[in-house]
Amino acid sequence: MSVNFIKGNFAIKAVGQDQGLSVSRNEVDDEVMTLQAQAMQRGEKFKEAEVRPRVEAQLEKGRVLSWLQSHATVTFVDAKDFDASEVLGQTPEELAATMRSEAPAEASAATDVAKASTATEPAADAKAAAATAQDSPGPASPDGFDWGGTF
């Protein structure tokens, strides 16, 4: 289900509650009996416990939408021109130029950090390699998983 579908159902339910629109039990019973008869004619199974809430929700939705159609007024509004500089604080071209000028500075800073991290002591590199060799499974382990002698 999409978010818009769920929001729409909540809005319809809220309008129905605010306006006191509801469906009587007799209306739901009539619709359920009709669906049950149709299912029996087709030789299909019919589970009233699964169908009843759906029927009730569909009837409520129809009633609310009918009420909205009869009471709502639709007003068409002309589209407003969108100015990106109001949202961004500058024109898209200016923003792109700013980002291009900042990108080389960020890239050189990342390169400096990478150089600093590779200039570690040789002893630390040897310890890291030994730890990696200890942790990695041997060639007999299938798919890199150590079975631990269980099988």
This prediction's pTM: 0.47
How many other C-beta atoms can be found within 10 angstroms of the C-beta atom of residue 35?
16
CA distance 29 to 59: 11
Q: Report CA-CA distances (Å) from 148 to 26, 27, 121, 142, 151.
A: 66, 66, 34, 12, 8
Q: What is the pLDDT along the chain (151 residues), one digit of tens a residue?
A: 688 888 988 999 999 999 999 899 999 999 999 999 999 999 999 899 999 999 999 999 999 999 999 998 888 888 877 777 887 888 888 888 888 888 776 666 666 655 655 555 555 555 555 554 444 444 555 555 555 555 4
Task: Judge contact between 39 and 45, C-beta under 8 A.
Answer: yes
